[in-house]
Structure 1
Amino acid sequence: MPLQAFGASAPLSLGVELELQLIDRLDRDLEPAATELLARLENASLPGQVSPEITLSMIEICTNVCDGYGDVLEQLSFTRDALLAAAAPLKVDICGGGTHPFQQWTQRQIYDKPRFKQITGLYGYLAKQFTVFGQHIHIGCPDGDTALWLLQAMSRYVPHFIALAASSPYVQGEDTAFQSARLNTVFAFPLSGQAPFTLSWEEFGRYFARMERTGIVAGMKDFYWDIRPKPEYGTIEIRVLDTPLTVQRAAALAGFAQCLAAWLLEERPIKPHADDQLVYTYNRFQACRFGLDAQLVDPQSNEAYVLGERLPALLELLMPQAERLGAVPALQELQQLVARREGDADWLRGLLAGGRSLPGVVAAACERWAAAD
């Protein structure tokens, strides 16, 4: 089957997906409550949808197509409140964060859905280990060539998204020393990482056809790339972000993505090149391990720099786009994050350092998710 035509969407429109943790109120471990929770939401009128994810202790919420930051925040806030109301009778709490701090992957249960069973059959234990939680951001593009150009240009900013969203310092009861340990699980899948370098939708179609002939893939969902095109939506999808601890931070990150895309497409400040891939994996690792303190290498000049020292200038550079798109509060929130050097991973670590147990850390994350602002 040939790759489907790229379905044009409104340029710079947004869509956000958040994978969320379902938490038992007593022991603060993950609770396999997705089936019951989804049943309670079956007739709810939501701005978007709530769907199962690969294991029973997680769900995914999705917005409808949004114009910008304010629309994303409104939709996510509405859905958050509906989820909390539906989960309360089940004695289940909900929280963000890229990993659960102490859950054991061996205890997870696969959701009864054909695609999830197919993934389990192919990837074995990795399917249960895939109980990690990310934010995906869709950005609308008018055509396939524009989508691929934006995908390659955005790839230079993958470390920025990782560092700003990092919220997964703990895995199975241990401090990993990573800001985003979640991505180590994602990287275990063979079709993860960076998309191949091409700026032509026609050429990408030929690549997809070769991959399909191997039997490795049947559709775009089989690629777990950090950024991938979604022709059925007319978007590119950024997939490297941990789920933040609040809907406010999730909306701010979507606003940042929209402003960055607008600047890249309007100014064309860089020329995507295949050589960008030479430092891509190194830069991505640095951001996962060290967050804002990551030591990155510019792929063209080979200059080394500290991510957190460059981010303030980038955020200020994007303010004209933010003013036009209504995303000034989004960039201001991220400016404060960078200035304090305190993202979600740092906040979680601070709780443990302050004397909380790991279950106490989860309880605080649930409280933070439920907070109205």
Structure 2
Amino acid sequence: MITVGVEEEYLLVDPETLLPAPLVQEVRATARLAPIADEGEVQDELLQAQIEVATPVCTALEEVGGHLLRLRHAVASAAQANDCRIAISATAPVKDVFPVPVTSTARYLRMRGEARQLVDEQLICGMHIHVGIPDRETGVAILNRLRVWLPTLLAMSVNGPLWDGRDTGFASWRTIIFGRWPVSGPPPHFEGTADYEARADGLLESGVIPDRGQLYWHARLSERYPTLEVRCCDVQLEADDAVMFAGIVRGLAATAIAEEKAGVAPALCRPEVLQAATWHAARHGMSSTLVDPEGRMRSSREVLCMLLRHIGPALEENGDSREVSSLVHRLLQRGTAADRQRRALAEAGLPALAALITAGATTG
């Protein structure tokens, strides 16, 4: 069984105005006192109005959901004790004219010195899914096969249409903001492990990025854990939806391993098409069309059906089929989180939006 773990990033906001609240140190200190969260499970992020949680290594999707609900509750309770709330949105719907302070670590301060405006606008939150790999060679093989599905995962996960008090016209404005860093977007196709390491080393040797932590590809090999990390998804309103993505990514990894062993050639979507497909997914979410793994435009529902057929046997083998299928069906019925944010704002204004994006700590 392939193991899985999830990291989620949240915004800390004022409960009335939704403006970012730079209180991460206070919230972390309070969360550490709670018996339901270990210190290592709750971390700082780049800006002091952000906080991150990380589940332990899990083998069942039920474990993932349980840990996420536990950690969301711990952080939400700590935030409330410090007169703020956690907002589960991929972008800050509103922001102050003054930048949020950077967390005072050497790495983050260096990033601010090199790209001040980009750092000031990093009020964005994603979800990172780690799947266990036996070795880096297998990880590269999975990357090569999974990369063509990243725009589909992004389109399903969109949760950031609002920025600076207005609708951006994009379903995931986070993706556009993050795409401005030197190394970002879909990873290239690699000839093997040596090619992966040589490209990563070449980027470091160029001096443009200081460390492998700034390989912001939408999927990459972890440098800290024996995992492959999928980073394209926006943070999800509800823990159940994060569980759905964990099941899908595990299914993609298992399918990739099976195809690699069987000698099935991977789909080779051209890099410029894959980049364009990513932009299209960030723009429209699931409301329009998507580019399929072969580079053809189809309806979003058709591409989603292709994805489920592709990973169907792996979902069955992992025991994830019923749960993932049910959650995908729910997504199609009620729309993406970006759709729900827009509906809330249109129907009842900022109070309804605030209620929606701050409720995820207590909902499945």
Q: 2:335 aligns with which of 342, 346, 350?
A: 342
CA RMSD of aligned residues (A): 2.2
SS of alignment partner, residue 11 of structure 2: strand
Rate the CA distance shift 1:232–1:89 in 2: closer, same or farther, 3 A. Answer: closer
TM-score by length of 2: 0.91
Structure 1 gaps, min length 5 = 1-10
SS of alignment partner, residue 75 of structure 1: helix
1:330 is aligned to 324
Q: How does 1:1-373 map to 2 (within 5 A)?
A: 12-45=2-35, 46=37, 49-104=41-96, 106-268=98-260, 271-272=265-266, 276-298=270-292, 300=294, 302-316=295-309, 318-327=311-320, 328-338=322-332, 340=333, 342-354=335-347, 356-367=348-359, 369-373=360-364
- Deviation string 1:256-308 (CA, Å, 9 cap, x unpaired) is 111122122224596336653131111111111111244344464x5331222
Instruction: Return the alpha-carbon distance in structure 1 between the equivalents of residues 241 and 47 of structure 2.
Output: 25
Instruction: Return the alpha-carbon distance in structure 2 between the equivalents of residues 93 and 320 of structure 1.
Output: 41
Rate the CA distance shift 1:14–1:349 in 2: closer, same or farther, 3 A. Answer: same
Instruction: Return the alpha-carbon distance in structure 2 between the equivalents of residues 307 and 357 of structure 1.
Output: 29
- Deviation string 1:130-187 (CA, Å, 9 cap, x unpaired) is 1101001111111112111111211111111111110111111111111111111001
SS of alignment partner, residue 42 of structure 1: helix
SS of alignment partner, residue 59 of structure 1: strand
Give the CA deviation at 1:74. Answer: 1.1
Asked if the contact 2:18–2:93 (Cα under 8 Å) also holds between the matched residues in 1, the reply is: no
Give the CA deviation at 1:331. Answer: 2.9
Asked if the contact 2:147–2:187 (Cα under 8 Å) also holds between the matched residues in 1, the reply is: no
Give the CA deviation at 1:252. Answer: 1.4
SS of alignment partner, residue 32 of structure 2: coil
Instruction: Return the alpha-carbon distance in structure 1 between the equivalents of residues 234 and 78 of structure 2.
Output: 24
Mean Cα deviation higher: 130-139 or 274-283:
274-283
- Deviation string 1:322-366 (CA, Å, 9 cap, x unpaired) is 23323221331112212x261111111111221x22243123321
Give the CA deviation at 1:125. Answer: 1.3
Asked if the contact 2:18–2:94 (Cα under 8 Å) also holds between the matched residues in 1, the reply is: no
Instruction: Return the alpha-carbon distance in structure 1 between the equivalents of residues 134 and 193 of structure 2.
Output: 12
Asked if the contact 1:105–1:129 (Cα under 8 Å) also holds between the matched residues in 2, the reply is: no
Instruction: Return the alpha-carbon distance in structure 1 between the equivalents of residues 18 and 199 of structure 2.
Output: 45
Give the CA deviation at 1:106. Answer: 3.6
Instruction: Return the alpha-carbon distance in structure 2 between the equivalents of residues 187 and 102 of structure 1.
Output: 20
Instruction: Return the alpha-carbon distance in structure 1 between the equivalents of residues 157 and 236 of structure 2.
Output: 6
Paired amino acid for 1:94: I
Instruction: Return the alpha-carbon distance in structure 1 between the equivalents of residues 223 and 159 of structure 2.
Output: 30
SS of alignment partner, residue 51 of structure 1: strand
Structure 2 gaps, min length 5 = none
SS of alignment partner, residue 231 of structure 2: strand
Give the CA deviation at 1:242. Answer: 0.6
SS of alignment partner, residue 147 of structure 1: helix
Paired amino acid for 2:174: R
1:5 is aligned to none
Paired amino acid for 1:34: V
Asked if the contact 2:155–2:282 (Cα under 8 Å) also holds between the matched residues in 1, the reply is: yes
Instruction: Return the alpha-carbon distance in structure 1 between the equivalents of residues 65 and 225 of structure 2.
Output: 21
- Percent identical pairs in the alignment equals 27
Paired amino acid for 1:304: M
Instruction: Return the alpha-carbon distance in structure 2 between the equivalents of residues 296 and 218 of structure 1.
Output: 35
Asked if the contact 1:144–1:200 (Cα under 8 Å) also holds between the matched residues in 2, the reply is: no
Instruction: Return the alpha-carbon distance in structure 1 between the equivalents of residues 193 and 9 of structure 2.
Output: 29
Rate the CA distance shift 1:31–1:279 in 2: closer, same or farther, 3 A. Answer: same
The count of aligned residue pairs is: 359
Rate the CA distance shift 1:349–1:337 in 2: closer, same or farther, 3 A. Answer: same
Rate the CA distance shift 1:245–1:15 in 2: closer, same or farther, 3 A. Answer: same
- Deviation string 1:77-114 (CA, Å, 9 cap, x unpaired) is 11112122222221221121111211246431111121
